[in-house]
């Protein structure tokens, strides 16, 4: 048991010191993910004959949408804290800095789906404004998202967040300072499972892109695939504070919505392509 504790304390560390600054491990892994994702997308864009600078701009702008979208959805899942804050405003807020601290508490986390939706909105608006071929651009970008997510979930595991349910198989968190109640309980490594599934999804989408299969449908294929992964993955999550409705978590409800929209889009595109073929026979 002592050996297990020592081992786990070595592989789980939410922060590390660099040049006198405390750096969150999740932030580092996310930056690595963005960098690797960017390299992959730019390489594929160049192979397809596109200007990779266009994709760099899209990624940078979408990253802003990812940041704000992720934090906004996290705040929505903590709606109970927002109600509590405004109901007891005079108790908690005595100055501007008190308000900032409360805002950090409410918006301090990030939800992947919020970031995904925020990034999609910004990317879509920019591509439309520049009159880019949305189908071709989204096909190239699609495999990069699960590649980024692969690194992000490793960051979650190292940081001890997005933890799994109590399990006879798994790892024990010992240093989660934000949620001490989860410490010293053996939990299923759901972060690593999702990381692995994202990596598999990346290779599948990368293969489809390389072989030019499902042209114009890769992004919807990603959304469809990940929504299924996330829906069932949620049953293994132990951080139940993220909000529930009708027995389903916030992410499961979003997964159902994305799944249905993806199916409708793929069916529509399939019928559209069939009609196009018939008119050219």
What's the pLDDT tens digit per position in 126-167? 999 999 999 999 999 999 999 999 999 999 888 878 888 887
Q: Looking at the predicted structure, is the pLDDT value of residue 3 above 70?
A: no
Is 232 domain-assigned?
A: no
* DSSP three-state, residue 111: coil
The pLDDT of 86-106, averaged and rounded, is: 72
Spatial distance between the Cα atoms of 56 and 33, rounded to a whole number of angstroms: 14
Residue 260 lies in a domain: no
Torsional class of 130: left (φ above 0), alpha (ψ -120 to 50), beta (otherwise)? alpha
Task: State the pLDDT at residue 175.
Answer: 57
203 in any annotated domain: yes
Taking only the tens place, the pLDDT of each residue in 225-278 is 999 999 999 999 987 655 566 778 889 999 999 999 999 999 998 887 666 555
Report yes or no on 268 lying in a domain: no
Query: Taking a C-beta distance cutoff of 8 angstroms, is the pair 182, 21 a contact?
Result: no
Question: Which residue, 263, 246, 253, 247, is CA-closest to 230?
Answer: 253
Entry pTM: 0.85
248 domain-assigned: no
> Tens digits of per-residue pLDDT, 70-90?
988 888 877 777 777 777 777
Question: Domain span at residue 134?
Answer: 2-159+178-214
The total of structural domains in the chain comes to: 1
| 81 vs 84: CA distance, rounded Å | 5
177: DSSP letter:
S
In the chain, the percentage of residues whose pLDDT exceeds 70 is 80
> In this structure, is residue 276 part of a structural domain?
no
CB 231 within 8 A of CB 255: yes
192 compared with 107, residue with greater pLDDT: 192
Query: Cα–Cα–Cα angle for 34, 110, 187, nearest 5°?
Result: 95
Residue 94 covered by a domain:
yes
Question: Annotation-wise, does 153 bind a ligand?
Answer: yes
Coil vs helix vs strand at 110: coil
Task: Quote the distance between the C-alpha of residue 206 and its chain's center.
Answer: 19
Q: Is residue 166 part of a domain?
A: no
């Amino acid at each position: 048991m002592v050996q297990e504790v020592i081992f786990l304390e070595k592989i789980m560390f939410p922060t590390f010191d660099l040049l006198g600054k405390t750096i969150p491990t999740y932030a580092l892994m996310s930056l690595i993910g963005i960098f690797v994702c960017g390299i992959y997308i730019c390489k594929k864009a160049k192979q397809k004959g596109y200007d990779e600078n266009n994709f760099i701009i899209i990624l940078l702008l979408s990253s802003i949408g990812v940041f704000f979208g992720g934090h906004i959805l996290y705040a929505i899942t903590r709606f109970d804290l927002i109600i509590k804050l405004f109901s007891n405003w005079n108790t908690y807020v005595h100055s501007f800095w008190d308000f900032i601290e409360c805002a950090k508490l409410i918006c301090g986390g990030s939800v992947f789906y919020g970031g995904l939706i925020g990034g999609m909105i910004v990317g879509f608006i920019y591509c439309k404004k520049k009159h880019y071929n949305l189908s071709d651009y989204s096909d190239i970008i699609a495999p990069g998202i699960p590649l980024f997510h692969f690194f992000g979930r490793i960051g979650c595991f190292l940081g001890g967040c997005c933890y799994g349910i109590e399990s006879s198989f798994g790892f024990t968190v010992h240093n989660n300072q934000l949620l001490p109640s989860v410490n010293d309980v053996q939990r299923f490594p759901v972060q690593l499972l999702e990381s692995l599934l994202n990596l598999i999804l990346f290779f599948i989408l990368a293969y489809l892109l390389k072989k030019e299969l499902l042209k114009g449908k890769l992004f919807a294929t990603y959304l469809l695939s990940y929504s299924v992964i996330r829906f069932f993955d949620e049953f293994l999550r132990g951080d139940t504070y993220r909000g529930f409705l009708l027995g389903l978590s916030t992410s499961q409800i979003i997964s159902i919505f994305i799944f249905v929209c993806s199916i409708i889009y793929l069916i529509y595109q399939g019928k559209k392509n069939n009609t196009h073929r018939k008119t050219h026979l």
